[in-house]
Chains A and B, each alone.
Chain A
């Protein structure tokens, strides 16, 4: 791999980590959900610093150009992260539904209580 390309990749990854840690510091990212981002960042860093790993893997897999192997790897991580986001959204939706139902049931109880209370007062 070309040394200039390698250096710009490293700079790019450093920016990536800077943004990631900035968001974590600002508490706008839940640490539990950022582990996957940190992990994929580390993998990218390793691949850029030791490009031989990637070159060997792509050779074994029969991928002619190393960059294509890199794209495949990135795509894999993006899919992984998207899937985890879908799972997070699904569980949030379920919790949201339960909250709405609970809220509606409680609202009904409050209404009934208010009615019986005002009945008592006017008696």
Chain B
């Protein structure tokens, strides 16, 4: 493990991965906040071939960013961040949305368990303390269903399976750099981690409603999303054993 010293305190090398797709309204606020208040963590913005001004914003402000030449979707974007974290030898990677939904004040607490070695993955969850933005009833119903399904196939109990606010240790940086679900990756990534015997923990966080941009899941697509993710999870579970023996 590599420790870095900042402000006289020792930190594990931590990278915050911020996937961004058309986030010109928020990205500046999010990154400035990190630079000013959380300088002990490094960050990287993954611009997933945005069609708005996200890229020029990143460029002119001289932020640390990776620019994908082709749009890959959220899964491919986040995975690029994990690949970067692996190359640069980070010990902890924290994934955080670029739309301002996730408050970085929780990062310290979230990675505490990883630092102590008591968890491999910590997920920031809206549904433990039930505070802050809770999403619509229908969507929560869907999330509960996916949560039950994931529990059924993998045995892990995670309430907020679609939360994109999560921290992983070095072992899972390496695993996610190798394989990461592509289209709607959050729930599948949990099953994936469970297959590698991850110790997954949830930490209560308060999320705000998006302050700009549009959610990657529109209400019309949510039924399609549910079916697709359920099938993906089940298929992943069924086909996994073969791959594990090969590895």
- Chain A residues in the interface with B (C-beta under 8 A): 97, 100-101, 103-105, 107-108
Q: Assuming A105-B66, A107-B67, A108-B66, is B84 touching A100 (CB within 8 A)?
A: no
Interface set of B (CB-CB < 8 Å, partner A): 65-70, 72, 76, 79-80, 83-84, 87, 182
Contact A100 B66 (CB under 8 A): no
List 25 contacting pairs A-B, 8 Å CB cutoff, sorted by A: A97-B72, A97-B76, A97-B182, A100-B68, A100-B70, A100-B72, A100-B76, A101-B68, A101-B72, A101-B76, A101-B79, A101-B80, A103-B69, A104-B67, A104-B68, A104-B80, A105-B66, A105-B80, A105-B83, A105-B84, A105-B87, A107-B66, A107-B67, A108-B65, A108-B84
Q: With contacts A101-B76, A105-B83, A107-B66 known, what are 12 further pairs, Cβ within 8 A?
A: A97-B76, A97-B182, A100-B72, A101-B80, A103-B69, A104-B66, A104-B67, A105-B66, A105-B87, A108-B65, A108-B66, A108-B84
Determine the distance from Cα of A100 to Cα of B79 in the docked complex, in whole angstroms: 11
Across chains A and B, which 9 residue pairs bring their CB atoms closest together, nearest first?
A101-B80, A104-B68, A108-B66, A100-B70, A104-B66, A97-B76, A103-B69, A101-B83, A104-B80
Distance in angstroms between the alpha carbons of A97 and B181 in the assembled complex? 12
Q: Of all chain A residues, which has the CB nearest B59? A: A111
Chain B residue at minimum C-beta to C-beta distance from A103 = B69
Nearest CB in chain B: distance from A86 CB, A: 14
Task: Note all chain A residues with C-beta closer than 8 A to B66.
Answer: 104-105, 107-108
A123 to B68, CA, bound (A): 32
Chain A residues positioned under 8 Å from B182 (CB to CB): 97
Closest to A107 in B: B67
- Chain A, residue nearest B182 (CB): A97
- Which residues in B have their C-beta under 8 angstroms from that of A97? 72, 76, 182
Nearest CB of chain B from residue A116's CB, rounded to whole Å? 13
Residues in chain A near residue B68, CB distance under 8 A: 100-101, 104
Q: How far is the CA of A53 from the CA of B83 in the complex (A)?
A: 57
The complex places the Cα of A97 from the Cα of B83 at a distance, in Å, of: 12
Cα distance, A107 to B87, chains bound together (Å): 14
